[in-house]
Amino acid sequence: MEPAFDARVAAWLAQRALDPTESAPGVAGARLHARAVGEKSRALLADPSPAASETDATVPPGTRGTPGTPVRVLRPHGDRPRPTVVFCHGGGWLGGDLDTHLQHARRLCAGLGAVVVSVGYRLAPEHPYPAAFDDCLSVTRRVAADIGEYGGDPARLVVAGDSAGGQLAASVAIACRDLGVALAGQLLIVPATDLAGGYASDTVNARYPSRARCGEGYGLTTEAMAWFADVYGAGEAAGDWRVSPLRAGDLRGVAPAVVHTAGYDPLRDEGAAYAGALRDAGVAVAHRDWPTLNHGYFSLGGVSATAERAAAQAVADMRRLVFPGAKGA
């Protein structure tokens, strides 16, 4: 018998559905709704220990010819060498920004004692695939090259992301392996990992039963994922590892991973499959599944005690990678 869906999250979703932006149409409407409900969930959260500074900047173009990319750099207190996290926000490749996911970045900054470089990558449909991937990779490479200006510890560079940002972080980690950019780890929260078929193929969807079992009624829907994938514009490239890291032919040598999935999430099974594929390739993996939670749990700590515990655990798992053997890790 499956564990029951978290009652507090269920009540939250019912209230969220009453927001006036729920039926706002199109991409602009999706962005408006995500911002509105995100602000409500953040208002329920206790801020983690504030960063010493939060600074907006622009990372210069990388070697791939990308434009300069806006980032927000969060720095913890103290001046000793720090881990550095390049964070890729979620939002279906068409929404989310430096503000909607500020609490995610603050949690990582406080929990890891890390400098966090949150990436304001270009969004679809104005900037379709591969713009988001190019921006996230360009920032990661630049941060690695200029690590002294950021955390200062080249042995502790991490990529992280949630949902669509989890896909971007996973794909960036593969690219970093191929380019010789050393990463200490990758943190993937409820990641999308297989866009082949665009969430509209019965054959591909059958590989991941959670797409049907949790495809509606728990926040994120499989129908919405199909729309996101279509707007992202990956098309025929959706089987490429830059879009679908689970489709990579060889995962050997990519950075150690922390992968967290949620039981009531249509992306649950592809996230678990990616954790398994990494493990089969000899990559160190810490995979946790939260059977009573849904896709957006990382921002619902003010709604559900279980969601708060899960979000804190994800950071703690990442800390064990960044500080192996450290007391309290």
Active site residue 265: yes
Q: 189 pairs with which residues across the strands?
A: 162, 260
Q: What is the Cα–Cα distance from 277 to 285, expressed in whole angstroms? A: 10
Q: What is the Cα–Cα distance from 139 to 94, expressed in whole angstroms? A: 19
Model pLDDT, residue 329: 43
Model pLDDT, residue 80: 83
Q: What is the Cα–Cα distance from 218 to 295, expressed in whole angstroms? A: 8
Model pLDDT, residue 328: 44
Contact 190, 260 (CB under 8 A): yes
Q: Residue type at 199?
A: Y
Least Cα distance to 38 among 302, 275, 321, 263 occurs for 302
Contact 85, 185 (CB under 8 A): no
Domain borders along the chain are 7-322
Model pLDDT, residue 326: 53
Q: Catalytic one among 118, 163, 299, 304?
A: 163
Q: What is the pLDDT of residues 278-320, one digit of tens each?
A: 999 999 999 999 999 999 999 999 999 999 999 999 999 999 9
Model pLDDT, residue 65: 57
Average confidence (pLDDT) per 10 residues, the chain, 329 residues: 93 92 92 90 78 92 72 91 95 95 93 96 97 96 94 93 98 98 97 97 98 97 97 93 97 98 98 98 98 96 96 95 65
Model pLDDT, residue 151: 85
Please give the sequence-ordered ranges of beta strands (E in DSSP) within the chain, or none if there are none: 53-59, 69-75, 82-88, 115-119, 152-162, 185-189, 257-264, 285-294
Model pLDDT, residue 319: 94
pTM of the shown model = 0.96
Q: CA of 105: how far to CAs of 114, 197, 239, in Å? A: 10, 31, 30
Q: What is the Cα–Cα distance from 154 to 151, expressed in whole angstroms? A: 8
Q: What is the Cα–Cα distance from 252 to 125, expressed in whole angstroms? A: 33
For domain 7-322, the question of CATH label 3.40.50.1820 is answered with yes
Q: What 3-state DSSP class applies to 216?
A: coil
Active site residue 201: no
Residue 210: phi, psi to the nearest 5? -60, -25
Q: Catalytic one among 295, 299, 304, 317?
A: 295
Q: What 3-state DSSP class applies to 233?
A: coil
Q: What is the pLDDT of residues 112-123, one digit of tens each?
A: 999 999 999 999
Active site residue 295: yes
Model pLDDT, residue 268: 98
Q: Residue type at 276?
A: G
Q: Catalytic one among 265, 287, 304, 317?
A: 265
Q: What is the Cα–Cα distance from 288 to 151, expressed in whole angstroms? A: 28
Contact 139, 109 (CB under 8 A): no
Per DSSP, 146 falls in state T
